[in-house]
């Protein structure tokens, strides 16, 4: 099989040792790459009930067969670990340059374990691996760290690093790459910080070639053509147009999940971004879609602030969710999170949750360090962010995420907290898109939009894979089969390590059959779509086995209580709730299709 190195680099930071292990062909065939190999390795090599911030936890970076080629949407990497935010399976994906460099350096997988006695960064230059002192980098932000390593090593070297939030074990700390791409969700940055690993710097000079170049090229050309038409908006505006779309749909979480429509949405819209701050496009390695937006604030209190973004999810988390209609302040919040190394979705949620508790009188001024918190007050929000990253005062409480903050406050706060399995949700209110309630509830990493992407078929009113079947976004049980199929499809996408933006429900351009053709062209195998479906189902079952092993039961597969009892306000979904009985019906049906018992236990033995 071409397009694999068949090599796994294993690094032990405690002993400062590394070795290279061969990956067997049968494992590559059975698990493909990315998420497949990630969960296989975690189940085999990570003990049960290991503390996520202990030396024993693993960081398993993995790519798929497409990385290293200049294929649209083929520049990602995944990292798999036990999450310090949720305590269950952690997975996070990053564009940029890290994945392709890992592959070109000669590895499909990099496993990091142990803890270094002092701050360290790993330098990987093809077959050479060095443990380098990072004492001078400890405390530096992510942008500075990347600049210093490039200056000291080689301008071509590509850096994945943590900021101070990762060093301080903020549970939603991220890992940064190319000053704007992140392994954002689930706290991989905190795991890296717990290992005193400041950065991984990689340079690869290898070459990857598809087995069937002609077929590969046909698929590539097809994708390039489609990217000029159906993916055109991504190139022009990035992900930002979703903010207006979601507000119009009445499902944009606003003022900490009180409302579904944001009256100031035009101030933070894609058009406003384009007019006021966007200066150009940025792309991941070899991707012509270039959906990243490079922004700079020209005037006012944030003049000179530069960031890649804000993406839609950041416009939501620091915009509508915090009641902020000031685009430049959101750009600043984005820059602070990127530099200090925090996931913007979780950071925005934890700040908005604190505001919610303060406004309702559950938290007093004294508890929050003398600050007065209110929705829309971006100045105070910006003051809180460094406190979280450095764990100062009230920031130390917020640094553990919404679930832990709610536990600390207790009482009413626990009923207001919005999370699933400890992960704060992205920008889709399930009261306005009912399928999202099940998708959040059963996502293996907690409330997540990417494991199913079910909002998209709901927003366009069409089935993800059957163009003639209509979808009603206020329907419940009718959507369960589609959610299962989407979950399997995106498991395959995350196993192949493809970017979702070339694998969108309804429009593709790559859906089941095209991904199968691509896989065959890359590897020279001749599998059928049904075979890949079976592989995806198996990987999903293995992830569930991991989560059940770590204590997940049916009680963890529910949306936040607030969605049942508090009707959404404003907009076209005004008055809607998630109906508990209908949700139970969805969950039972999902378990039945998956072959799990009533408590959510799979029969698969691993
Ligand atoms: S579509 Fe965007 S996120 Fe996906 S690989 Fe291309 S540039 Fe990166």
pLDDT in tens, 405-457: 999 999 999 999 999 999 999 999 999 999 999 999 999 999 999 999 999 99
Ligand 1 atom closest to the CA of 238, numbered from 1: 2
| Residue 493 beta carbon below 6 angstroms from any ligand 1 atom | no
pLDDT tens digits, 241-278 = 999 999 999 999 999 999 999 999 999 999 999 999 99
Would the pLDDT of 606 be above 90?
A: no
Check: CB of residue 129 under 8 Å from CB of residue 201.
no
Residue 553 has a pLDDT of 97
Check: CB of residue 600 under 8 Å from CB of residue 553.
yes
| Residue 73 beta carbon below 6 angstroms from any ligand 1 atom | yes
Q: Could you tell me the distance, in angstroms and rounded to a whole number, from the CA of residue 336 to the centre of ligand 1?
A: 23
Residue 335 has a pLDDT of 98
Check: CB of residue 373 under 8 Å from CB of residue 361.
no
Ramachandran class of 579: left when φ > 0, alpha when ψ lies in -120 to 50, beta otherwise: beta
| Residue 283 beta carbon below 6 angstroms from any ligand 1 atom | yes
β-strands 503-504, 292-296: how paired? unpaired
* Nearest one of 403, 359, 400, 395 to 377, comparing CA atoms: 359
If pLDDT is split at 50, 70 and 90, which confidence band does 370 have?
Answer: very high
Q: Could you tell me the distance, in angstroms and rounded to a whole number, from the CA of residue 501 to the centre of ligand 1?
A: 7
Top mutation candidate among 98, 220, 290, 453 for ligand 1, by most atoms within 8 Å of CB? 290
Q: Could you tell me the distance, in angstroms and rounded to a whole number, from the CA of residue 104 to the centre of ligand 1?
A: 19
| Residue 95 beta carbon below 6 angstroms from any ligand 1 atom | yes
Residue nearest to atom 2 of ligand 1 (CA): 291
| Residue 94 beta carbon below 6 angstroms from any ligand 1 atom | no
Would the pLDDT of 7 be above 90?
A: yes
Distance of CA 72 to the CA centre of its chain: 19
Write out the two tokens for 498: 């493809």
Write out the two tokens for 78: 């995944």
Which helix (H) or strand (E) segment is 556 a member of?
none
| Residue 290 beta carbon below 6 angstroms from any ligand 1 atom | yes
Would the pLDDT of 604 be above 70?
A: no
* Number of CB atoms found within 10 A of residue 362's CB: 17
Residue 86 CA to residue 84 CA, distance in Å, equals 6
Q: What percent of the chain has pLDDT over 90?
A: 99
Residue 362 has a pLDDT of 95
Supply the angle between the helices 327-340 and 344-359 in degrees, to the nearest 10.
120
Mean pLDDT of the chain: 97
| Residue 510 beta carbon below 6 angstroms from any ligand 1 atom | no
Residue 127 has a pLDDT of 85
Would the pLDDT of 339 be above 80?
A: yes
Would the pLDDT of 396 be above 60?
A: yes
Write out the two tokens for 359: 């406004």
| Residue 497 beta carbon below 6 angstroms from any ligand 1 atom | no
Sequence-ordered alpha helix ranges (H) in 107-266 = 142-152, 164-167, 188-194, 213-229, 232-237, 242-248
| Residue 224 beta carbon below 6 angstroms from any ligand 1 atom | no
Residue 467 has a pLDDT of 86
Residue nearest to atom 5 of ligand 1 (CA): 73
| Residue 66 beta carbon below 6 angstroms from any ligand 1 atom | no
* Number of CB atoms found within 10 A of residue 279's CB: 10
Residue 268 CA to residue 257 CA, distance in Å, equals 18
* Number of CB atoms found within 10 A of residue 424's CB: 27
| Residue 289 beta carbon below 6 angstroms from any ligand 1 atom | yes
Top mutation candidate among 68, 77, 95, 183 for ligand 1, by most atoms within 8 Å of CB? 95
Domains in the chain: ranges and CATH: 7-203 (3.60.9.10), 242-416 (1.10.569.10), 435-594 (1.10.599.10)
Ligand 1 atom closest to the CA of 287, numbered from 1: 6
Residue 603 has a pLDDT of 83
Whether omega for the bond prior to residue 310 falls within 30 degrees of 0, making it cis, is yes
Supply the angle between the helices 344-359 and 401-409 in degrees, to the nearest 10.
20
Check: CB of residue 26 under 8 Å from CB of residue 15.
no
Give me Rg for the CA atoms of the chain.
22
Supply the angle between the helices 327-340 and 142-152 in degrees, to the nearest 10.
50
What are the percentages of helix, strand and coil residues in the chain, rounded to 5?
40, 15, 45
| Residue 75 beta carbon below 6 angstroms from any ligand 1 atom | yes
If pLDDT is split at 50, 70 and 90, which confidence band does 605 have?
Answer: low
Check: CB of residue 483 under 8 Å from CB of residue 452.
yes
Residue 510 CA to residue 226 CA, distance in Å, equals 10
* Nearest one of 125, 136, 187, 193 to 161, comparing CA atoms: 193
Ligand 1 atom closest to the CA of 74, numbered from 1: 5
Give the CA angle between residues 184, 390, 344 to the nearest 5°. 25
Top mutation candidate among 68, 233, 501, 502 for ligand 1, by most atoms within 8 Å of CB? 501
* Nearest one of 312, 330, 311, 332 to 322, comparing CA atoms: 330
| Residue 291 beta carbon below 6 angstroms from any ligand 1 atom | yes
Write out the two tokens for 304: 């000179």
pLDDT tens digits, 501-541 = 999 999 999 999 999 999 999 999 999 999 999 999 999 99
Dihedral in degrees, nearest 10, Cα atoms 579, 581, 587, 589: -120
Q: Could you tell me the distance, in angstroms and rounded to a whole number, from the CA of residue 272 to the centre of ligand 1?
A: 22
Averaged pLDDT, 348-364: 97
Ligand 1 atom closest to the CA of 76, numbered from 1: 5
Averaged pLDDT, 354-370: 95
Top mutation candidate among 282, 292, 293, 500 for ligand 1, by most atoms within 8 Å of CB? 292
Residue nearest to atom 8 of ligand 1 (CA): 284
């Amino acid at each position: 099989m071409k397009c694999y190195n068949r090599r796994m680099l294993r690094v032990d930071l405690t002993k400062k040792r590394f070795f290279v292990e061969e990956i067997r062909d049968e494992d590559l065939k059975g698990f493909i790459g990315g998420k497949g190999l990630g969960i296989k390795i975690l189940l085999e090599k990570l003990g049960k009930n290991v503390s996520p911030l202990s030396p024993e936890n693993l960081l398993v970076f993995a790519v798929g067969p497409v990385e290293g080629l200049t294929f649209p949407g083929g520049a990602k990497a995944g990292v798999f670990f036990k999450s310090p935010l949720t305590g269950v399976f952690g997975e996070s994906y990053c564009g940029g340059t890290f994945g392709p460099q890992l592959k070109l350096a000669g590895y499909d997988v990099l496993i990091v374990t142990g803890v270094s006695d002092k701050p360290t960064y790993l330098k990987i230059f093809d077959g050479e691996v060095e443990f380098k002192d990072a004492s001078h980098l400890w405390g530096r932000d992510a942008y500075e760290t990347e600049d210093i390593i490039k200056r000291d090593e080689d301008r071509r070297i590509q850096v994945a690093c943590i900021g101070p939030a990762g060093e301080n074990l903020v549970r939603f700390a991220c890992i940064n790459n190319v000053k704007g791409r992140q392994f954002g969700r689930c706290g991989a940055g905190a795991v890296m910080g717990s290992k005193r690993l400041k950065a991984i710097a990689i340079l690869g000079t290898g070459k990857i070639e598809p087995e069937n170049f002609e077929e590969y090229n046909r698929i590539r050309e097809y994708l390039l053509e489609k990217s000029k038409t159906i993916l055109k908006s991504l190139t022009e505006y990035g992900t930002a147009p979703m903010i207006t779309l979601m507000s119009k749909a009445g499902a944009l979480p606003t003022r900490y999940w009180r409302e579904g429509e944001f009256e100031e949405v035009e101030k933070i819209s894609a058009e406003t971004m384009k007019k006021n701050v966007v200066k150009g496009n940025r792309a991941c390695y070899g991707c012509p879609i270039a959906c990243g937006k490079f922004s700079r604030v020209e005037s006012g209190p944030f003049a000179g602030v530069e960031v890649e973004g804000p993406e839609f999810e950041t416009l939501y988390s620091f915009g509508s969710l915090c009641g902020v209609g000031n685009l430049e302040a959101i750009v600043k919040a984005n820059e602070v999170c990127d530099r200090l190394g925090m996931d913007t979705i979780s950071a925005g949620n934890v700040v908005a949750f604190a505001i919610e508790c303060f406004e309702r009188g559950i938290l007093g001024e004294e508890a929050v360090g003398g600050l007065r918190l209110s929705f829309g007050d971006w100045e105070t929000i910006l003051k809180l962010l460094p406190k979280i990253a450095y764990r100062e005062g009230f920031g130390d409480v917020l640094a553990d995420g919404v679930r832990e903050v709610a536990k600390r406050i207790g009482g009413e706060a626990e009923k207001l907290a919005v999370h699933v399995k400890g992960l704060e949700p992205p920008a889709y209110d399930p009261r306005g898109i009912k399928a999202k309630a099940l998708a959040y509830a059963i996502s293996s990493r907690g409330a997540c939009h990417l494991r199913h992407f079910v909002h998209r078929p709901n927003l366009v009113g069409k089935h993800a894979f059957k163009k003639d079947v209509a979808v009603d976004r206020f329907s419940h049980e009718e959507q369960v089969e589609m959610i299962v199929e989407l979950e399997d499809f995106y498991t395959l996408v995350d196993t192949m390590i493809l970017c979702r933006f070339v694998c969108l429900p309804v429009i593709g351009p790559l859906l089941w059959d095209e991904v199968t053709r691509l896989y065959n062209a890359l590897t020279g195998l001749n599998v059928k779509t049904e075979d890949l479906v079976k592989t995806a189902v198996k990987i999903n079952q293995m992830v569930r086995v991991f989560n059940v092993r770590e204590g997940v039961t049916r009680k963890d597969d529910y949306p936040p209580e607030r969605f049942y009892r508090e009707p959404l306000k404003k907009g076209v979904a005004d008055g809607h709730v998630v109906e508990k009985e209908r949700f139970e019906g969805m969950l039972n049906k999902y378990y039945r299709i998956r072959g799990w018992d009533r408590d959510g236990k799979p029969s698969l033995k691993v």
